[in-house]
Amino acid sequence: MLATGLLLSACTASPTVVSSPTAVPAPTSSSEGPPPPRSFTLTAGGDILIHPALTDQAVADGGAAGRDYLPLFSGIRETLKADLSLCHLEVPLGPKEGPFFGYPAFLAPPEVAKGLVDVGYDACSTASNHTLDRGVSAITTTLDAMDAVGLKHTGSYRTQEESAAPLILDAGGVRVAQLSFTYGFNGIPLPQPWRANQINAEKILADARAARAAGAEVVVLSVQWGNEYQHEATAEQKALARLLLADPALDLIIGTHVHVVQPFEKIGGKWVAYGLGNEVARHSEPRGVTEEGAIARFKFEQGPSGWSVVEASYTPTLVELGPPIRLVDLTRVPASERRTQAIDRTEGIVFSMGAAEQGLKRGKP
């Protein structure tokens, strides 16, 4: 794979987008005391990597009604419940009639988008090393499939105008922007620079500022980076995280791509989850660690100096290869040797950079 680089070339900030006014809580009389601070919860999952075996499972689960991915995902429905839930769709989606492909150049069925909405996701990042696997036409079919079911998206674009509009989402009355960037496209050149976002520190921060100018109160970066199958965060990941989180425009980093869990770390009062592992995948040669993942949960609260995370937790997950293939929340299923192994290994990795001492907890059902 290609190594992540800190690309610092000059860029032009995206135009701002005018959005509806932020909801303001009704005033509370003095006899009732001051109103509680504004807050919201956010959950985020790892790589959605649709190998052919997962589509075969969706065919079996859907029967005569057609492909159904919800049974695959449904084990995390309760875990995802929050004011805002974000996913990372790593692969492009094609037309309903197919054909579909797995590694190394993916194309998955459009019903994947419906499964993600049905399990509770609100928006997905789409900038990934597989964005251009099937050309720019697959960007269009991917985003069309997501639009058809109301799944918001950012990171790859059908038009230049679309690329300039920040994705600003409602999280219980709080306006939250999601940005999406990837380290590269597996050697495939971008036909136009606006088609998908490639890591560039200056552009990330320019886009974050543009989102704030358009009304975002909190800005979250979804980023593909790191070395595949490596639990340790690379020096480049750590340096980029420190550079970006030092800027007031950015509040949180959610990392994906490496297909295994990586640590969480708090930097200057802000969190980075370096890698959430695979949410769903069925590699031709499963490694055990490639079936383990984490769902991150953050509670943001508005204080005198702005928004900050006041509670942070993770929930360990596992893709059980069955049959049937199922994604499970390991805090909500009976213990077994394999499940306990996944829980213990994930905890050791997630906490390996001091996250427990910094306040990160393991989620509870």
| Reported pTM | 0.91
Q: Are 277 and 256 in contact (CB under 8 A)?
A: no
Structure tokens at 311: 């509670």
Which residue in 147, 158, 67 sits closest to 115, CA to CA?
A: 67
Query: Which pLDDT does position 316 carry in this prediction?
Result: 98
Strands 218-224 and 174-182: parallel
Q: In the beta sheet, which residues pair with residue 326? A: 320
Q: Distance between CA atoms of 156 and 172, rounded to whole angstroms?
A: 26
How many CB atoms lie under 10 A from the CB of residue 54?
A: 24
Ranges of the chain whose pLDDT falls below 70:
1-31, 365
Query: Which pLDDT does position 70 carry in this prediction?
Result: 98
Counting Cβ atoms within 10 Å, is residue 41 exposed (0-12), middle (13-18) or buried (19+)?
middle
Query: Which pLDDT does position 25 carry in this prediction?
Result: 52
What is the fold of 37-362? Answer: Purple Acid Phosphatase; chain A, domain 2 (3.60.21)
**Domain map of the chain by residue range?**
37-362
Query: Which pLDDT does position 22 carry in this prediction?
Result: 44
The predicted-structure confidence for 215-231, as pLDDT tens digits, reads as follows 999 999 999 999 999 99
